[in-house]
Amino acid sequence: MLYTIPLRDAFNVPRKRRARKAVKIVKEFLARHTKSEVKFDASLNEMLWSRGIEKPPRRIRIKVVEKKGVKIAKLAE
C-alpha cells in the first residue's frame, strides 16, 4: 500500500519538537489507515530526521509491506 502523508501539522509546534511530532503524525496516520501498529524501516526514520529536528519534510511518501504478520513502513521508491 502506498500513502502520501502530509506533515504540515508538525510545523504548528515549536521548532525543537518538529521532527518528533512528524514521527508521531506518521505513526498515527498509519495506525488509522492500516488498523494495526506499524514499525518503521531505518530509511524512513533517517528521512524524517535528515534535515534535523527543526525542518522535517512537508510530506512523505510511504510504502507499507507485511512480513510474517508485522507491518513495516518504508520509503516509497
Domain ranges of the chain: 2-75
Three-state SS at 35: coil
pLDDT of residue 62: 97
User: pTM (2 decimals)?
Assistant: 0.92
Location of C-alpha cell 518528533: 20
N-to-C CA span, the chain: 12
- Are the CB atoms for 25 and 5 separated by under 8 Å? yes
Superfamily of domain 2-75 in the CATH hierarchy? Ribosomal protein L31 (3.10.440.10)
Segments of the chain scoring below 70 in pLDDT: none
Q: Is the CA virtual torsion 28, 32, 34, 3 positive or negative? A: negative
**Beta bridge partner(s), residue 3:** 62
pLDDT of residue 77: 81
Tally of CB atoms within 10 A around 10: 22
pLDDT tens sequence across 17-39: 999 999 999 999 999 999 999 99
Three-state SS at 36: coil
